[in-house]
Amino acid sequence: MQRVAADPIDVLRSRTSAKWRSFPADVLPLPVAEMDYPLAEPIAEALHAAIRRSDTGYHSGSRHVADAFQGFAARRLGWDVDPAHVTCTADVSMGIVEVLRQVTSPGDGVVITPPIYPPFFDLVTEAGGRVVEVPMRGGIDDGWGLDLDGIEAAFASGAGAMVLCNPHNPLGWVPDRTTLEQLAEIAASFGATVVSDEVHGPLAQPESPYTPFLTVSDAAREIGVTVTSASKSFNIPGLKAALMLTASERGDRVRTGFPYEVEWRMAQFGAIASIAAFQEGGPWLDGVLASLDDNRRLLADLLADELPGVRYRMPQATYLAWLDLSALGWGDDPAAYALEHAKVALHRGPAFGASVGRGHARLNFACSPEVLSEAVTRLAKAASPAVE
């Protein structure tokens, strides 16, 4: 498999995105979920062609993106998507908020599963809901899973919806079909809605295939709404395009209830790039997956050699590593220590849930092996005075 190589560090530091503008030049920035790989050529060419023809007006609706995703989903994900059941918007977070506004009333409980992508806490409240935390079960040693009993108890206590992260950010855990079937049955028994964020789905490694929630059962199709995008898999989050998918009359009522402007928030360049990604980006994505596989294994080796006290379980998907740095004695927020003493920027663990994130941090390994190695070396040097 031909790997996709990361851009050189001098090229990366010329980028103006959040990852490369949020820290001084002597810091290795590994917190933000952006990849260091060059843009897939079909996407770049599609965008260049749009510029050449001055195609910078409003996008022409959801259908063209939905049609492209239909082919991608069938080829890569084993998912039969009906483009007529797709509405686009600007990004996954916006889609989650709009779905929650349709399926909950102000003050309703919404289940999330810490440690979890930090914006989930804010998305629930933005939609008018109340966060109900049901932490993940298990851990680094034995692996993770949903606390289905806890989720059922939350629904029984009145929570009206759940935001599922499939695959899970920051754990890189991929729920299996049986787990998703059980979740769907529990939600259906209470009439609750499962909003499934599946933006990292195409980044699952081959030995841990991702299962789209809407494919697992009639119950899932009845109570589920999936929100996804090409943004993470193809590194185009700044171009703003996402898809909201349903597979039942109930789900369609959610989509048709959106305010008119929800669909028109998708950007023209986001639509153009997404179509190119879904139609022609497969070989590039295969190369990225191979590079990420190399790096997740390299990280395990580097930690074992240089920071054996740090606990890490190789993710099944995504390019994000959840690290338990507690043994280093760097406090509840070890990312702060790492930034000050190692000049390595990590994502703060407590932001993923105060009860489960203390002593942890998230690291983005979608970078070159050299950058990853340098980051671990810096962390190890910073740890040496603190570890006997």
Enclosing H/E stretch for 370: helix 369-383
pLDDT value at 387 more than 60? no
> Does residue 4 lie within any of the structural domains?
no
pLDDT at 386: 47
The reply to whether 138 and 14 lie within a common domain is: no
Write the DSSP string, 297-316. Answer: HHHHHHHHHH-TTSEE---S
> Does residue 153 lie within any of the structural domains?
yes
Q: Which two tokens stand for residue 153?
A: 């108890």
pLDDT at 385: 62
pLDDT in tens, 257-302: 999 999 999 999 999 999 999 999 999 999 999 999 999 999 999 9
The reply to whether 104 and 152 lie within a common domain is: yes
CA-based angle 237:298:344, to the nearest 5? 60
Q: How far is CA 282 from the centre of its chain?
A: 19
> Does residue 1 lie within any of the structural domains?
no
How far is it, in rounded angstroms, from Cα 193 to Cα 385?
50
The reply to whether 238 and 324 lie within a common domain is: no
Contact call for residues 329 and 388 (beta carbons, < 8 A): no
How far is it, in rounded angstroms, from Cα 276 to Cα 204?
20
Report the SS3 class of residue 91. coil
The reply to whether 139 and 261 lie within a common domain is: yes
pLDDT value at 201 more than 80? yes
Q: How large a percentage of the chain has pLDDT more than 90?
A: 98
The reply to whether 318 and 331 lie within a common domain is: yes
Q: What is the CATH number of the domain that holds 357?
A: 3.90.1150.10
How far is it, in rounded angstroms, from Cα 18 to Cα 11?
15
> Does residue 217 lie within any of the structural domains?
yes
- Among the three residues 257, 280, 303, which one is the final residue of a domain in this structure? 280
Number of domains in the chain: 2
pLDDT in tens, 10-22: 999 999 999 999 9
The reply to whether 143 and 213 lie within a common domain is: yes
- For residue 315, the enclosing domain spans 9-37+283-383
The reply to whether 126 and 246 lie within a common domain is: yes
Amino acid at site 252 = D
The reply to whether 75 and 100 lie within a common domain is: yes
The reply to whether 181 and 263 lie within a common domain is: yes
The reply to whether 247 and 341 lie within a common domain is: no
pLDDT at 144: 97
pLDDT in tens, 305-333: 999 999 999 999 999 999 999 999 999 99
pLDDT at 1: 75
Bridge partners for 110 per DSSP: 131, 161
The reply to whether 28 and 175 lie within a common domain is: no
> Does residue 196 lie within any of the structural domains?
yes
The reply to whether 19 and 49 lie within a common domain is: no
Across 238-372, the runs of DSSP E, i.e. the strands, are 242-245, 311-312, 320-324, 344-345, 347-348, 360-364
pLDDT at 388: 41
Q: How large a percentage of the chain has pLDDT more than 70?
A: 99
Q: Which two tokens stand for residue 150?
A: 């806890």
pLDDT in tens, 203-234: 999 999 999 999 999 999 999 999 999 999 99
pLDDT at 384: 87
Q: Which two tokens stand for residue 198?
A: 């599946």
> Does residue 3 lie within any of the structural domains?
no
The per-residue pLDDT of the chain, averaged, comes to: 97
